[in-house]
Amino acid sequence: MEEVVEILSKERILVLMGGTSAEREVSLRSGKAVLSALLTLGYPAYALDYNHSAIDQILIDKPDLVFLALHGQNGEDGTVQGLLDSLDIAYTGSGLTSSVLCMDKVLSKKLFKYEGIPTAGYKILKKKDLIDSDAIHTLKEEIGLPMVIKAATQGSSIGTYIVRNEEDILSAINNAFLYSHEVLAEEFIDGKELTVALLGNEQPEVLPIIEITSQNEFYDYESKYTQGMFEHIIPARIDRISEENIINISKQVYELMNCKGFARIDFMLDKNGYPYVLEVNTIPGMTELSLVPDAARAAGMSFEELVERIVRLALKK
């Protein structure tokens, strides 16, 4: 008698990558890595470079799930999430509102402050604020030096500058305005740069904390995506009290921002052991050099297992 083998069908998954943001090249690398993992896992997966024609293709294909590997504006900021919601198509990661809040550093800062989440002191800048001839000196007096200047709606440290001299403040702000209509001036926290990856929906699993060191002044775009320019230290070289505190804050922030699936929360730990939340990444990188895959690996999870978990969590939302 011929043996009957049951074949379990798997969801058709579209990997959306590329896009139009300043993080396009990183997104392509994330998307290719995810697609390879999905095919290895046996999913009938395929990829599209996100643009207007891709939207038409999504309408035709109607995939069971979209795996979002888009980074930055027009991908991580709620725009694609809203589109997929309107089409009633499931997707990985956080929803529209969460994506908007986490991508916009100004909104995030306001919410952190309101909820008592420890974060560096800051001032929100608009272009009209620079009309006053004393604006730069006043900013220096309020924030102090060194200070951090950040474009409000970018990821991968694009439009971020550490300023140590008053004469360099204005040029840093103007450069940040090239990427965003609002800019943050933040107090500089001298200490360890840490990141925490979380995996889950209502009760997320906290993956091992990573300490980041960089060949550059900070973990900037070049450092993030150039082999040999950084080191991911796991476990992070912090004491147990700091570790427990950061884990608790991470869970609090994940719930506060209504994150789903997976996310990465960046911290600075000052020299007195006090943690400050920098930002939340709702579609963190999934490249061979990225932090979340490294954290998963430290937890005993292969890249394919990580991708599978993200897919399953998306289908449960």
Look-up: residue for tokens 């980074």?
71
Q: Does 167 participate in catalysis according to the annotation?
A: no
Q: Which of 225, 245, 276, 290 is catalytic?
A: 225
Nearest Cα to Cα of residue 68 among 16, 29, 14, 13: 16
Q: Write the burial class of residue 45 (CB in 10 Å: 0-12 exposed, 13-18 middle, 19+ buried).
A: buried
Reported for 242-245, long-range contacts at CB under 8 A and 24+ positions apart, including other chains, are 242/269, 242/273, 242/275, 243/209, 245/275
Distance CA 172, CA 151 (A): 10
Q: Which of 264, 276, 290, 294 is catalytic?
A: 264
Q: Is-cis flag, bond preceding 146, omega within 30?
A: yes
Q: Which of 21, 99, 108, 156 is catalytic?
A: 156
Cβ–Cβ < 8 Å for 156, 27: no
To which H or E segment does residue 138 belong?
helix 135-143
Sign of CA dihedral 180, 185, 187, 191: positive
DSSP per-residue codes, 23-86: THHHHHHHHHHHHHHHHHTT--EEEEE-SHHHHHHHHHH--SEEEE---STTTTSSHHHHHHHH
Q: Which of 27, 180, 281, 290 is catalytic?
A: 281
Q: Which of 18, 285, 290, 294 is catalytic?
A: 285
Q: Does 225 participate in catalysis according to the annotation?
A: yes
Q: Which of 19, 21, 23, 221 is catalytic?
A: 23
Q: Which of 77, 187, 266, 294 is catalytic?
A: 266
Cβ–Cβ < 8 Å for 15, 34: yes
Q: Does 23 participate in catalysis according to the annotation?
A: yes
Q: Does 285 participate in catalysis according to the annotation?
A: yes
Q: Which of 221, 279, 290, 294 is catalytic?
A: 279
Q: Does 46 participate in catalysis according to the annotation?
A: no
CA atoms lying within 13 Å on the CB side of residue 50: 30
The CA R_g of the chain, rounded to the nearest whole Å, is 20
Cβ–Cβ < 8 Å for 187, 213: no
Q: Does 25 participate in catalysis according to the annotation?
A: no
Q: Does 266 participate in catalysis according to the annotation?
A: yes
Residues annotated as part of the active site: 23, 156, 225, 264, 266, 279, 281, 285
